[in-house]
Structure 1
Amino acid sequence: MPIPIDADHINICKPSDRNSLIYTSIRHRLRKLAPAACSSDPSGRGEFADDNLDEPSPGDRRDLMSKMVAAGREHQYDFANDSQSKFARPFLRTGLKTSISTVYKNLLADIEQRFQNLIFHPLICSGADEATVAAAIQTEIVDPLSQKYASDNATAKTIMNALYFLTERCHIRWDKP
């Protein structure tokens, strides 16, 4: 999906860091194009081990409540905390041993990529209101991914639970940097 970027050739060719829109988009695309490369690593972690969406990010280490308050969404904290817990329990229970963990990780990667490219950078960083962000989450993340993962029994609720799981694990932020 082409995304317009306000950058020159140098900035596009050499992203500033691993959290930049360009880097995350390219990383996600490479993961889809080269799944064999991920499984050929003898360590078993794959060439894209830095993704580790199941582990807390070393970046923004605020707790979930602090993140929700900073984004003006403190009224959603109870829902967000309950949702991320509902996603975390079966995800962490399956660990890395089953094929379902691959589905979970692919789902998390899709959510993170869509959130960064379609919600965070264009809307949240631009100061969009909560209703606009909520509508975009529904149309750009929840609806398409619940369709994509329907054969794996992922519902709209699963997608939202995973979104808050990524927030808790510091891979997604809801407030402007």
Structure 2
Amino acid sequence: MFASQSHNDVGGDLVGRDKVDNSKTTVIQLVTNGAAGQELAALYEKLKADGVGDPSHGQISEKLEHYMSTTTDGDVRGLEAKLRDSGREEQLRAATDLKERAFKSIMKYQTSRTAQRVYTIVLSELHAAFTLTVTPVIQQGADRVAVDQCISAILQATKNMLGENVLEFDVMDLLALLYYLGGNCHIRWDKC
């Protein structure tokens, strides 16, 4: 037997199970920075020529060093504490492994100033996008699903920005770099 609900007026929402409040969900659409895309294209050309581009002579660029160093003027908790404090304990093992993977990947290219610049652009893009889109959602008290949707959006937008992507970053590499930023005190997954 089927009961029609088409003319029922209950003075509000009529739901069969869970009602999802999307009023706090922030939909983000990131615009690819044309200048970054052009710079990446030029860097890729240098890397394609010999796999190194401009040599670094073992020196890490100042801007990349900023992301590799733990900041001391903010939230100095490590990655593990940040994940625990934000209710992401199930991510600890994978996040730690991915953070290590990011570090090794960066160090693999320590002799290439060109590749260092690519990493700096990617880390900068992730850091800025997280700060400007994910952090406000966290501060608003959005649920984890909404926060993770924002994180997924910035990962996809960053991947799209990469263009030809000579260093072959995939979304998991970008997530690894995000955990790397978290481990070095640049981002967090809980309220300030």
Matching of residue 149 in structure 1 with residue 187 in structure 2: no
Contact 1:54 1:105 in 2 (8 A): no
Give the structure with higher Rg (CA): 2
Return 141-150 or 89-98, whichever deviates more.
89-98
Indicate how the Cα distance of structure 1 residues 95 and 60 shifts in structure 2: closer, same or farther if over 3 A, else same: farther
Identical amino acids, percent of aligned pairs: 25
Instruction: Give TM-score, length-normalised by structure 1.
Output: 0.68
Identify the residue that residue 181 of structure 2 maps to in structure 1.
Answer: 166
Q: Which has the higher contact order (CA 8 A, sep 6+)?
A: 2
Report the number of matched residues: 134
Q: Could you tell me which of 88, 92, 113 is aligned with 1:73?
A: 88
Question: Is 1:63 aligned with 2:78?
Answer: yes
**Residues 45, 53 of structure 1: CA spacing in aligned structure 2 closer, same or farther, 3 A cutoff?**
same
User: What stretches of structure 1 move > 4 A for 4+ residues in a row?
Assistant: none
Q: Which residue, out of 119, 137, 140, partners 1:126?
A: 140
Partner amino acid, structure 2, of 1:54: M
CA distance, structure 2, for counterparts of residue 155 and residue 96 of structure 1 = 22
Q: CA RMSD in A?
A: 2.5
Tell me by how many angstroms 1:98 deviates: 2.8
Q: Which of the two has greater helix per residue?
A: 1
Match of 1:18 in 2: none
Q: Deviations over 1:149-176 (max 9, x none)?
A: 1422221111111100100111011111
Equivalent residue for 1:14? none
Q: Given the alignment, which residue of 138, 148, 151 partners 1:137?
A: 151
TM-score with structure 2 length normalisation? 0.63
Distance change >3 Å, CA 150–CA 82, structure 1 → 2: farther
Instruction: Read off the aligned partner of 2:67 and give its amino acid letter.
Output: L
